[in-house]
């Protein structure tokens, strides 16, 4: 079912059929701040009042035309300026495929450089989301290129389901890049990715342990309370201060756990997506949790 939903997230035809329904949109908005930057900023202020920071994500991915990539980059420039104006201690997350990486790596580098220039001194980080395994190497190479050009606040996500990730974590840590560690939200084959949940979790723990020992400001992106417990215990054992790493969760997911971590003195950053291209993001959230899918289907049937 997970693989089917992830495949469905990539279908433009299904997007047209499903995303157009008002009810689908209403459910998707549980995970998305809204269509506009104003809504993203409003949610960010609300989260800041509860002791959390944010990373803003302008939704969009797998663009196929230069104009779309340039429009996305422009949206990020506006977001960076607004974050500064609103005095929100924050950063941005973006997808390399949204900047044209798949059809023009040169365009992607140019646009990311422009965003990094504007973000300098204004944002506390830029994180490249990690997408399918076809762009993993290119995404890490892009972070290396950015660091070479002096943009040391650019990092990326890595996915513990990939066999290669333990070595990527070492490579990025040696570079001095801040890494966001997640489990992985795409469908990858068994020759390159762990398929069993306990293997993905064991890989997450190994990567987390390495990052706590050697990584600059690790970002642990998970809602899994067992892994969160592993991170807090390991950090304590290593005497890694609680202000030298952070937990990250997605907007709308496990809010009580977010609050509990804040009350225990941990840093929590919420990933806040906004924009009207929410369909693939929403489908991945359905794929992650059968209960979400059941809720969605029940609402569809009851109409």
Ligand X SMILES: Cc1cc2nc3c(=O)[nH]c(=O)nc-3n(C[C@H](O)[C@H](O)[C@H](O)COP(=O)(O)OP(=O)(O)OC[C@H]3O[C@@H](n4cnc5c(N)ncnc54)[C@H](O)[C@@H]3O)c2cc1C
Which residues are designated catalytic? Answer: 129, 180
Query: Is residue 159 close enough to count as binding ligand X by CB under 6 A?
Result: yes
Please identify, among the stretches 72-80, 137-145, 162-170, 217-225, the one whose residues bind ligand X according to the rule CB under 6 A.
217-225
Please state, in angstroms and rounded to a whole number, the distance separating the CA atoms of residues 38 and 36: 5
Among 130, 146, 179, 228, binds ligand X (CB under 6 A): 130
What lies within 8 Å, CB to CB, of 31 at 6+ separation is 250, 251, 252, 253, 273, 278, 281, 282, 285
Name the residue among 119, 109, 35 with its Cα closest to residue 77: 119
Q: Which two tokens stand for residue 190?
A: 């068994």
Site string for ligand X, 253-282 (x = CB under 6 A): xx----------------x-----------
Query: Is residue 248 close enough to count as binding ligand X by CB under 6 A?
Result: yes
Please give the sequence-ordered ranges of beta strands (E in DSSP) within 167-291, or none if there are none.
Answer: 179-182, 219-221, 246-250, 268-274
Query: Is residue 222 close enough to count as binding ligand X by CB under 6 A?
Result: yes
Query: Is residue 223 close enough to count as binding ligand X by CB under 6 A?
Result: yes
Which helix or strand (DSSP H or E) is residue 140 part of? helix 136-148
Of 25 and 81, nearer to ligand X (C-beta) is: 25
The least distance separating ligand X from the CB of residue 239, rounded to whole angstroms, comes to 25
Query: Is residue 250 close enough to count as binding ligand X by CB under 6 A?
Result: yes
Site for ligand X in 160-199 (CB under 6 A): 182-186
Contact 220, 248 (CB under 8 A): yes
Q: Which two tokens stand for residue 118?
A: 């504007």
Residue ranges that bind ligand X, judged by CB under 6 A? 129-130, 157, 159, 182-186, 221-224, 248-250, 253-254, 271, 285, 288-289, 292
């Amino acid at each position: 079912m997970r693989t089917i939903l992830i495949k469905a997230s990539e279908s433009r035809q299904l997007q047209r059929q499903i995303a157009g329904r008002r009810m689908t949109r209403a459910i998707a908005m549980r995970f998305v701040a809204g269509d506009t930057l104003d809504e993203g900023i409003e949610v960010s202020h609300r989260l800041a009042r509860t002791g959390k920071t944010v990373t803003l994500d302008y939704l969009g991915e797998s663009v196929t035309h230069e104009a779309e990539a340039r429009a996305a980059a422009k949206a990020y420039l506006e977001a960076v300026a607004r974050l500064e104006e609103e005095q929100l201690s924050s950063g941005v997350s973006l997808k390399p495929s949204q900047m044209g990486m798949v059809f023009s790596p040169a365009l992607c580098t140019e646009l990311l450089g422009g965003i990094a220039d504007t973000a300098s001194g204004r944002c506390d980080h830029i994180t490249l989301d990690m997408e399918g395994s076809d762009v993993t190497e290119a995404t890490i190479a892009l972070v290396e290129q950015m660091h070479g050009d002096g943009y040391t606040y650019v990092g990326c996500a890595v996915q513990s389901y990939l066999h290669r990730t333990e070595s990527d974590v070492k490579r990025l840590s040696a570079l001095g890049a801040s890494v966001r560690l997640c489990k992985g939200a795409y469908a990858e084959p068994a020759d390159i990715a762990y398929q069993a949940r306990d293997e993905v979790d064991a890989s997450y723990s190994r990567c987390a342990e390495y990052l706590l020992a050697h990584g600059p400001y690790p970002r642990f992106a998970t809602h899994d309370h067992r892994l969160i417990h592993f991170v807090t215990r390991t950090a304590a054992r290593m005497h890694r201060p609680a202000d030298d790493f952070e937990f990250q969760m997605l907007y709308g997911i496990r809010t009580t756990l977010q609050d509990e971590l804040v009350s225990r003195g941990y840093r929590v950053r919420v990933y806040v997506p906004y924009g009207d291209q929410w369909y693939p993001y929403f489908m991945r959230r359905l794929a992650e949790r059968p209960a979400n899918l059941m809720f969605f289907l029940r609402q569809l049937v009851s109409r």
